[in-house]
Amino acid sequence: MCGFIGFLGGKALHGALGEEAVIQRMADSILHRGPDDVGYWCDVDQHVSLGHRRLAVVDLSPAGHQPMHSASGRYVIAYNGEVYNFPALRLKLEHLGQRFRGHSDTEVVLAAIDAWGLEGAITQFVGMFAFALWDCRERRLSLVRDRLGIKPLYYGRVNGAFVFGSELKAIRAFPGFKQPVDRGALALLMRHNYVPAPYSIYQDIYKLSPGHILTLDRNDPAGKPEINAYWSAKEVAEAGVASPFEGSDSEAIEALDGLLRDAVGSRMVSDVPLGAFLSGGYDSSLVVAQMQAQSSRPVRTFSIGFHEKQYNEANHAKAVAVHLGTDHTELYVTSKEAMDVIPRLPTLYDEPFSDSSQIPAFLVSQLARQHVTVSLSGDGGDELFSGYNRYFWGRSIWNRIGWLPIGTRKLMCTALTAVSPERWDRVFDHLSPILPSMVKQRMPGDRLHKLAEILRASSPDAMYHTLISHWKDPASMILCAKEPKTVLTDRSRWANLEDFTQRMMYLDTVSYLPDDILVKVDRASMGVSLEARVPLLDHRIVEFAWRLPLSMKLRDGQGKWILRQVLYKYVPRKLVDRPKMGFGVPIDSWLRGPLRDWAESLLDEKRLLHEGFFKPQPIRQLWAEHLSGKRNWQYHLWDVLMFQAWLENQ
């Protein structure tokens, strides 16, 4: 796992420093992504430069040094990621007469491109990757990002040069960077708690979308890059639904078990210590179970615990670890230790990012890095196997309320919101002894208020958009902002899926998964120089999951049916069957207590007016309601606070 940077053109604007000095400065900004080695390559005549920071994981020798040249001399690559099937590809290439000087997957990647061309090679790669490739013969730059967007890649024009890198901080290090904040992207942040691809928080700086190749010709460096897809989640979803798996339940379970075993096993190849995050939920428990089944020694597992009972899953993780016989490490953190992470967030996440589970994600990464260099994670199971509550609750709610006149539903909305979330919480707490377990939820009052919001929806798709939105009209609270289109609002980019639940799963896979979940995992882990691998997002599992009928995912009012059946082969259901908790921290109470002064400073009315991004009135109103306990506006306020903290850090 590594980080890379580079630029093409712009001679007159960085010539005073020199190409090598510029690329070194950019590389220094992402030291955390690769503390083991650094490398640069510059072609002064072509005004192209590549830089690389290496976290050595496979082939620790100098033979893995980057940027790396292909044996033919045609290509130079700076690469971040892992291609897990590189041993099999290496054998194929050796049969074609290719000779190798080392044992890294980078060398195999280059040889594959030399043998089969860029697209012919990457369609054979199984793994996570982002890389920059310079074709010395054709004088062409290519940027490539993996199918699901596990690894990041930013690009844009700065001071006359085409600049790219693994993180925004590397692009900011390019001489003359003065890009203003993109107010449309800020509106998207307020809605989603992340900035979705292809946008970034800066004007004219973009994220390469998952499964795409960008090419730019040296003969026209100021021209518009050509961007094409080599893999499409839309096509995969449509093809899977059109050609469903026709075997029995037991055949599907066996097939998925085999795919998972292969995906997990291939991600256990490492020349450095390896472990796994374990929350005790279905996904991480299954990954760890598959690891332990293929390991001759106890697998290292890591969990973070909280003293607040409603946020703590460490006891469940420990029970799974004991059953599987892993070498388990858990750390209970205090609220102060968790809050101490907050000042690091603007630098860690590099652009405003306000999913508050970023805090425990960093803490568990920090814990794991004390013992291992690689850690497997269970991310992706919710989107592929229908794990989020909205998939079954949304379907159920719309079936029950969709037929009601909109006026009736608005009256119901008014009735539900007339009682504050805190009072609803007290009601549910009083009724808890007689409520069935599936009805018990963390923060039930907030969930009822969210239900009230969706009662106003005019269609199932409008209901989904409400469910995934924090600020419902973010452009109205940002000065001079127009919210741009995304895959979530551009129906021409949606997969043609008749079922509402499948549409939600598809949209989450192409938006929430790469732009929130995987950003969180990458920045939290790489921030402490830890490689995180996500076996459930092996593209072969993704393609198989879309072939499975929805009834194999949603059954008896629960999601992840087939995933749970595989897990039950390794772990007793009593250890894992419980309501979904999530990975959160008590931001709501922190903002009323120890974080109050910090938040008040960032939300000061005069400050907001002076900075000129937000209209103070709606923010101040929510802040007052939150402090009074009348409402819990933690998500809305955290969106604003993370932008304000990032802005201050700039």
Q: Are 469 and 189 in contact (CB under 8 A)?
A: no
CA angle 498, 501, 507 (to 5 degrees): 90
User: Strand runs (DSSP E) across 398-545, as ranges?
Assistant: 531-533
Q: Are 196 and 511 in contact (CB under 8 A)?
A: yes
User: Strand runs (DSSP E) across 350-479, as ranges?
Assistant: 374-376
Beta bridge partners of 76: 69, 134
- Token pair of 635, please? 């998500």
Considering the candidates 2, 42, 136, 480, report the single residue annotated as catalytic: 2
Distance CA 527, CA 36 (A): 14
In this structure, what DSSP letter does residue 357 have?
Answer: T
Give every CB contact of residue 643 below 8 A, 6+ residues apart in sequence: 186, 189, 190, 352, 354, 613
198: alpha, beta or left, given left = phi > 0 and alpha = psi -120 to 50?
alpha
Distance CA 346, CA 141 (A): 31
SS3 353: coil
Task: Please name the residue that has the structure tokens 């979308």.
Answer: 209
Q: Are 2 and 53 in contact (CB under 8 A)?
A: yes
Strand order in the sheet with 161-165: 37-43, 48-54, 2-9, 161-165, 154-158, 205-207
Known catalytic residue: 136? no
Cα radius of gyration (the chain): 25
Distance CA 503, CA 486 (A): 15
Distance CA 77, CA 51 (A): 9
Q: Are 108 and 89 in contact (CB under 8 A)?
A: yes
SS3 119: helix
Task: Please name the residue that has the structure tokens 């595989």.
Answer: 566
Sign of CA dihedral 452, 458, 461, 466: negative
- Token pair of 336, please? 């102060």
SS3 281: coil
Q: Are 578 and 564 in contact (CB under 8 A)?
A: no
DSSP 7-25: EEE-HHHHTTT-HHHHHHH
First to last CA, the chain: 27
Give every CB contact of residue 584 below 8 A, 6+ residues apart in sequence: 311, 356, 357, 360, 442
CA atoms within 13 A on the CB side of 429: 10
Distance CA 465, CA 457 (A): 9
DSSP 38-83: EEEEEETTTTEEEEEEE---S--SGGG-SSEE-TTSSEEEEEEEEE
| Active-site amino acid positions | 2
